Amino acid sequence: MRVSQAKELFRALTQEYFAGAWVTFSRQSRVAKPNVPLVSITPGNVNRPQNPSYENVGGEMLGYYPSRISMTVDLFTPGREVVDEEMGGTVAHENTAVDDMLAFADFLNSEHTINWCHENDVAIQFEGDVQDLTGLVNDTNYEFRSRLVVLLYFTQKVVGHAAVATEDSIQPAGGHPPSPGGDGGEDQPGQDAPKPGDDIVIEPHYEQTSSGGGTEELATQTTGYFTKVEIKEDKA
Which pLDDT tens digit goes with each residue over 155-166? Answer: 998 887 677 777
Pick 21 or 91 by higher pLDDT: 21
> Concatenated DSSP letters for 114-156?
HHHHHHHT-EEEEEEEEEE-TTTS---SS-EEEEEEEEEEEEE
Q: Rounded to an integer, what distance in angstroms lies between the CA atom of residue 14 and that of residue 23?
A: 7
Tell me the average pLDDT across 222-227.
69
| Residue 137 half-sphere exposure toward CB, CA atoms < 13 A | 16
Pick 69 or 191 by higher pLDDT: 69
**Selection from 7-21, 132-146, 179-193, 196-210 with the highest mean pLDDT:** 7-21
pLDDT digits (tens, 9 = 90+) for 42-87: 999 999 999 888 887 777 788 899 999 999 999 988 766 656 666 6
Q: Work out whether strand 200-202 and strand 170-172 pair parallel, antiparallel, or are unpaired.
A: antiparallel
Pick 70 or 97 by higher pLDDT: 70
Residue 185: what pLDDT? 42
Q: Is the pLDDT of residue 180 over 50?
A: no
- Would you say 177 and 192 are in contact if contact means Cβ atoms under 8 Å apart? yes
Classify 39 as helix, strand or coil. strand
Q: Rounded to an integer, what distance in angstroms lies between the CA atom of residue 208 and that of residue 166?
A: 9
Name the pLDDT band for 178 (thresholds 50, 70, 90): very low
DSSP 220: T
Tell me the average pLDDT across 134-140.
64
Q: Is the pLDDT of residue 175 over 70?
A: no
Percent of the chain with pLDDT over 90: 35
Classify 217 as helix, strand or coil. helix
